[in-house]
Structure 1
Amino acid sequence: MKQKVADYMTRNVITLKPDDTVEDAIRIIEKTGHDGFPVVDKDGRLVGYVSSMDLLRKDLNAKISDVMTRSLYVAREYMDLRDAARVMFRTGHSKLPVVDDKGRIKGIITNTDIIRSQIERADPSKVSKLKETIEKVHGTKVRVYNGEVEVDRLIPTQTKIYADELRGRIYELRRGLAEPVVVIKKGGKMFLVDGHHRAVAAKKIGMDRLDAYILEVPENVELGMEKLVRKKKIKSIRDIEVIEDVPHPLVEITFKNSK
């Protein structure tokens, strides 16, 4: 289960049209803070890319089609993430538009996404290991598939999260990043195994559903996490405490003497 571009690319991509002007592009840069945008035609096909450097000293009324770069490197959703990283490293690009077989824009993959993929906790290999563990411990078969889950149906298996990490997850979700949570489905219950910060972030910004790796187990299997849920009386995402004054344990803050 290799990591694919589709697993980490940003899907909500801000684009420009060839007939937009340099002034339009500058206005969007000022609003979003992004330093470049794919250019698409009326059918959503990628026809170019414009960066902030392309806009320097250009007439504000100039068309994007006159200043954009037309020769582009692109990625595909099914592409191995490592191959996309190699292309970016060898060409010096910090991001690649992601297109389908008809050239239509589907997302964008950045060097930040590549880095995130190396530290992300919820990935296909982890799901595979969890599946194998459940099957060995309980002597049963586990079905694994991708799908969407309703945030309000999730039953947490941890009681606390950290505010600093939560803010990062909110930022990621608003950018449309595609990191899935990990859920064990047993009958009508959905136990959240991994992705508590993201689930709470989704609740806070009004997202009803999340992408998920779903592991479906038979109803007669007694999971250890069920005992924890009963003991802690955890019923929903609302029962998770957000710790405000303590940084995430993986974050180290250093202070240098100014003298």
Structure 2
Amino acid sequence: MATKHEQILAYIESLEVGEKISVRRIAKELQVSEGTAYRAIKDAETQRLVSTIERVGTIRIERKKKENIERLTYAEIVNIVDGQVLGGRNGLHKSLTKFVIGAMQLEDMMRYTEADNLLIVGNRLKAHEYGLRAGAGVLVTGGFDVTEAVKRLADELELPVISTSYDTFTVAAMINRAIYDQLIKKDILLIEDIVIPSEETHALQEMDTVERYHELNERTAHGGFPVVDERGKLKGIITTRDVIGCSPDERIEKVMTRDPIAGTMKMSVASAGHRMIWEGIDLLPIVGDSGFLEGLISRQDVLKALQTAQRQPQQGETIDDVVKSQLQQTGQGELTFTVTPQMTNAYGSLSYGAYTTMLAEAAEQTLKIRKRKDSVLENMTVYFLKPVQLESVLTVRPSILDLSRKSVKVDVEITDGDEVVGKALLTLQLLDR
């Protein structure tokens, strides 16, 4: 039985795109408290099922697929630019494909303006009308109003006319930043990208016997299986260690590990991998909000996904990517690192965040090259001996102090010319293949 929260989310998902929703309406229609309805609407907003717009309300929007993540809706534009909707509210849920800045003669502007575009323009009254007739939404910069005729036309065509107090350059920069942030989000690998769905997962029931485990083990060559009840709710996990010395007639519920560590579809692959190493587990069941089994991932799946992600061309560059791009191998077990303007603090020296990222990446690269091992950082002690200036070319010398089966200690020395500017001791956990 789905929880009230899940029922509300399913109801919201079933609504037509563009439909207006409210806490009172959901509470009344689904016979739930207003508090439960409010929490579900907030969750739906996080899942990008709805968008809340000031002076308009909460409306159902189209959830973007990952490949279309760089496409924004008019509703999102309103929130990005702190805008006010002057007309065409019924079209706020629509997606737009292109932005056109109207900084040219009217006839030339219309050559570039098409349906599903957003025309960014100032107080050029004719341009507002022409843009709407071309099938584009209009964003009026500088806080200007539009004529009543344009507002009526926008309502008739269901194309939003939005006004913002920002200037055109600031608006373009804000929209560009929003798209860029979404591209970075797209690059983050989530469990849902690599999970083996429950339909393809072999699971055991609590009432099954150890003999049934051995049958599945021989047929699939898997060492562990999730254990579910008759409704499909996760109850435990069973591995080879649990069944050693057990009678074939023994029930699974007697020998399984109860309340196993589980993940969710929205958990990042890196986070899941770290949890699996930390807890020393090879299998991670994936569950929904109510604890029902939705899939399974293994440590091999995580390793394979992370290695593939490292080879993918990045579409959005994070601060991590900027720092890592400046680390170069020299061939003598050393690395060079160039300090660029993005990595500096207010005083023009290397920031602490960039410094620690550089140290962690240098240690991880050294382990990959010398020991062919993947790792995750557990602990770091850093000594900032001297400030590092902009455009300095640093020499980074990592050396492995201690290597065990599960972890490694790495000493890193950073020099600028002949001067030592920093030292660090890092402890990393090793990822078993």
The TM-score normalised by the length of structure 2 is 0.28
Relative contact order, higher structure (CA 8 A, sep 6+): 1
The TM-score normalised by the length of structure 1 is 0.47
